[in-house]
Amino acid sequence: MSGTTASGRGRTAGVPGHTGGGVNRWTVLTVLCVSLLFVALDTTILYVAVPSVTEDLRPGPVELLWIVDIYPLIAASLLILFGTLGDRVGRRRVLLLGYGLFALASAAAALAPNPQILMAARALLGIGGAMIMPATLSILRQVFPDRRERAVAIGMWSAVAAVGAAVGPVLGGFLVENFWWGSVFLINIPMMAAMFLIGRWLLPESRGERNGPWDLLGAVIAAFGVLGIVFGVKRLGSGAPVVGVTTLLPIAVGTVLLVLFVRRQRRRAHPLIDMRLFARPAFGTSIGCIVLAMLALVGLQLIAVQYLQLVLGLSPLETGLRMLPLVFAAMAAGLTGSKVLQALGPRVMVSAGFTLTAIAVLSLTAMGTHDRFWQLSLGFVLLGFGFQSTLFGAYESMLSEAPAAQSGGAAALGETAYQLGAGIGVALLGSVMNAAYAPGLSRVDGVSAGASRSASHSLGEAYKVAAGLGEHARQALRLAARDAFVHGLRVTLVASGVLLLVGAAIALRLPRRAAESGERAEAGAPAEEGAGGAAAANVPAAGREGAPAPARTGR
């Protein structure tokens, strides 16, 4: 089937192929999920390669944080810009350009000769990811207008996102152990090339209603606002003074820019993001839950990988394999999420997911300098299932709360919340970890004050310092550093658990039943034409929920 918008512009976001032929919507979902898989994979695949990157390129502590974190931060800041660009020139077109840039940036990262080039390449990867990510969720919302089918699709989508992020350390560990750290980027090149060809052949093109001018200035303001806040938080996490040009000033400027962005969107007849979405309590609550979930766990995952390698002495591959229980539990939560949502409703599902994740995180505080395989595995199972249940319920509630005509704006906000929470989480929990770790190395027998200061930057740095000392001092420093790291890990786990329990309380504002949200969204007044946001819906009235559905392509 094919069709046009009411204004006659563009194609529908139903499932017409770009050649006009029918394309199975489940096939489209498969392509979108594979696209998301590699974008999510790149968020965590570098974690187990950090020791190898440190040894080879010798980045400083701040440079190392930026190498890991700049990818999600750049992606988060540009989601709105590229989402709205897709509305104008075609979402498939921007998606294909994203594939190309992702492949080129991966080649640059793999061959980076110094930390600066690697950071720049990771930034380009973030730009490519920002081109790819908005399309996956907004197209999913429109290809699946029926809420029950959409819940199944979101379950598959969220499971793939979890698998990508969680399999990253496994795949990264295998590649680092058998090749070198640059190989974690090289694998993107053939896959992005394949996705480019498959996407060009199978994916339908769709555009939003292009009424009114595109607010490029607003998108730029939002991008710099996000970057300003996160840059300031990262500087605080690296130990910079609380009151300083590189800490509070960027946070203040970023906050002002985001306030200006919101005011600008409220005044415009055709905004990038329709701020009336936040008048729906469940929508804003869902966004907040996504931010809190990512903030509490992504930074913790980086620390956990360091614990497995540097404290327990596991190889990169063994480290990745230890995280497989988390992967399988997350997959199970995503694939069963639709049934759980129908049985429990968004409120109970998301709140219980937060609570289960908090229990899992707090149970891991019993971990010490000795390996406790079964305890760690059980904690990872509970963590994976609870965390993925939380994200599934929050995303489904967010998309269903937004009318179909505003699904693109909802998708951009959800993905921005995901990436922003991940970026701030690395900085925030990293700063908590550093604050708890450093005092444990203030005085070590046989180690000079200068060596102790260097060792207090990180556990990896402590091992390097210890390698240049005598036998007694070396053993004393390594033991003190491991004990300090475990203490810092426990403090960080408690902080993460508190954030998750706060999320459980916030989730109580979600609707009790899965149907309440969708009923309100469809009953609400239609948004102004063109106010659909980052990827305005392009579905004819017959394709929306509550209207007679046209004959669909085969399952």
Q: Output the tens digit of pLDDT for each of the chain's 555 residues.
A: 333 333 333 344 334 433 333 457 788 888 888 888 888 777 777 777 887 888 888 887 778 877 877 887 788 788 888 877 777 777 788 888 998 999 999 999 999 989 899 999 999 999 998 888 877 777 777 777 777 777 788 878 777 876 776 677 778 778 887 888 888 898 889 888 888 888 788 777 766 666 667 788 888 998 898 888 877 776 665 556 656 677 788 888 999 999 999 999 888 887 877 787 787 888 889 999 998 888 887 767 767 777 888 888 887 778 778 878 887 888 888 888 888 888 888 899 999 999 999 999 999 888 888 888 888 889 889 988 998 899 888 888 887 777 665 666 677 778 778 777 776 777 778 778 888 888 877 777 777 777 777 777 778 788 888 887 778 888 888 888 888 888 888 998 999 999 999 999 999 988 887 654 444 444 443 333 333 333 333 333 333 333 333 333 332
In degrees rounded to 5, what are phi and psi of residue 147?
Answer: -65, -35
Start-to-end C-alpha separation, the chain: 14
Residues 6+ apart with CB under 8 A from 212: 268, 269, 270, 530
State the Cα–Cα distance between residues 539 and 550, nearest whole angstrom: 11
Cα-based angle 527, 13, 212 (whole degrees, multiple of 5): 45
Q: Which of 139, 129, 131 is nearest to 204 (CA)?
A: 139
272 within 8 A of 219, measured Cβ to Cβ: yes
Is 370 in a helix, a strand, or coil?
Answer: coil
- Check the CA dihedral 238-244-246-250 and report its sign: positive
Tell me the residue ranges of DSSP E strands in 297-373.
none
Residues 6+ apart with CB under 8 A from 99: 35, 128, 132, 192, 193, 195, 196, 199
State the Cα–Cα distance between residues 274 and 265, nearest whole angstrom: 7
321 within 8 A of 260, measured Cβ to Cβ: no
245 within 8 A of 131, measured Cβ to Cβ: no
Is 22 in a helix, a strand, or coil?
Answer: strand
Number of helical H runs and strand E runs in the chain = 19, 0
438 within 8 A of 491, measured Cβ to Cβ: no
- With tokens 């339908």, the residue in question is 204
- pLDDT the model gives residue 240: 62
- pLDDT the model gives residue 261: 92
State the Cα–Cα distance between residues 547 and 514, nearest whole angstrom: 19
273 within 8 A of 413, measured Cβ to Cβ: yes
The pTM of the whole model exceeds 0.85: no
State the Cα–Cα distance between residues 325 and 406, nearest whole angstrom: 37
- pLDDT the model gives residue 504: 94
DSSP H stretches of helix in 90-182: 91-110, 115-143, 147-178
Which residues does residue 22 pair with via DSSP β-bridges, in sequence order? 16
Q: In Å, how far from its chain's centre is CA 116?
A: 23
- pLDDT the model gives residue 123: 92
Which residues does residue 16 pair with via DSSP β-bridges, in sequence order? 22
Q: Please state, in angstroms and as integers, the Cα–Cα distance from residue 147 to each residue in 154, 157, 282, 507, following that order.
A: 10, 15, 16, 21
Is 449 in a helix, a strand, or coil?
Answer: helix
Structure-token pair, residue 538:
């392009």
- With tokens 């988390």, the residue in question is 326
- With tokens 């896959």, the residue in question is 191
Write the burial class of residue 8 (CB in 10 Å: 0-12 exposed, 13-18 middle, 19+ buried): exposed
Q: In Å, how far from its chain's centre is CA 290?
A: 9
